[in-house]
Amino acid sequence: MPKEDDFVARVAVGHIEGPYSAIFRIWSPPGKSDVYASVREIAGEIKISLHETGECNAGLTPQFAMQEVSAVAAMGGSRHQSQWTRQTHVGSRVVTPLQFAIPASELRMWRVQPIETEKVTWLEPPAQGRSVIISCAFTGQSLADDKWPGRRNGTHLLGTKLLPNGEKFWLIWQDCPTGPVEQMMLSQAQARMRQQGMVRFSSITDDTPPAPRRLIFKEYPAEQLLVVLDAAAQ
């Protein structure tokens, strides 16, 4: 049973009978001002952390990195795919350090069949040429629950939590045209895969069809933002 200030959201794009995206899990432990995110299938292996201090990182969990020494070496010796810093205690301003992008072109029936009884919020799949953007945002506590960031511009609220440090965390989503950012991330990842291949993890890499999904990371230092694109494996 979750505690009163525990925050857990499970979100996917599509329909349980398919096609669909990965299932994202975003949570904030009780009594903590840290926020975490992962994908259900690999939650024990890969995690994104948005810490109260402003330090943010995305990559392998410490336990998984210890098991995958060769893969960590292939990644350059660090278990972190991305590291960046977000702003904190921003009053009425909105800070968005993390976004998930799910283009319509990347929805598939894939290996892990969703569980019907699992508590997942299913978002309607976007039309072709469009994407769902799920944003993790922070503001000061003065912003009311019914005035979530971007509401006037068509965002939808998935959940909110008042953090112990006085910040307010918001999980919101929006259906919008697939832009050059998403298209560039897809094309660059495909080119890199053709040249270098996949970093292989002994315990979870499996190329048998239907192939697993893949996460594409792109940092935007000027915006202090990490965009993670949920893509179908080729």
Q: What is the pLDDT of residues 209-229, one digit of tens each?
A: 555 678 888 899 999 999 999
Q: pLDDT value at position 47?
A: 87
Confidence bin at 234 (pLDDT 50/70/90): low
Helix (H, G, I), strand (E, B) or coil at 163: coil
Least confident of 6-20, 69-83, 128-142, 194-208: 194-208
Conformation bin of residue 116: beta by default, left when phi > 0, alpha when psi is -120 to 50? alpha
Confidence bin at 147 (pLDDT 50/70/90): very high
User: Would the pLDDT of 166 be above 60?
Assistant: yes
Residues 229, 83: Cα–Cα separation, whole Å = 17
More confident site: 149 or 64: 149
User: Would the pLDDT of 91 be above 60?
Assistant: yes
More confident site: 57 or 40: 57
> Can you read off the two tokens belonging to residue 63?
């336990």
Q: pLDDT value at position 60?
A: 77
List C-alpha distances in Å: 144 to 100, 170, 189, 194, 216: 24, 11, 39, 48, 33
Residues 131, 185: Cα–Cα separation, whole Å = 13
Residues 6+ away with beta carbon under 8 Å from 202: 67, 68, 70, 71
Please state the pTM of the whole predicted model: 0.86
**Alpha-carbon dihedral 85, 33, 6, 155, rounded to 10 degrees:** -50
Q: pLDDT value at position 1?
A: 36
Q: pLDDT value at position 195?
A: 56
What is the arithmetic mean of pLDDT over 38-54?
Answer: 84
Domain ranges within the chain, ordered by starting residue = 7-232
User: Would the pLDDT of 2 be above 50?
Assistant: no
Confidence bin at 175 (pLDDT 50/70/90): very high
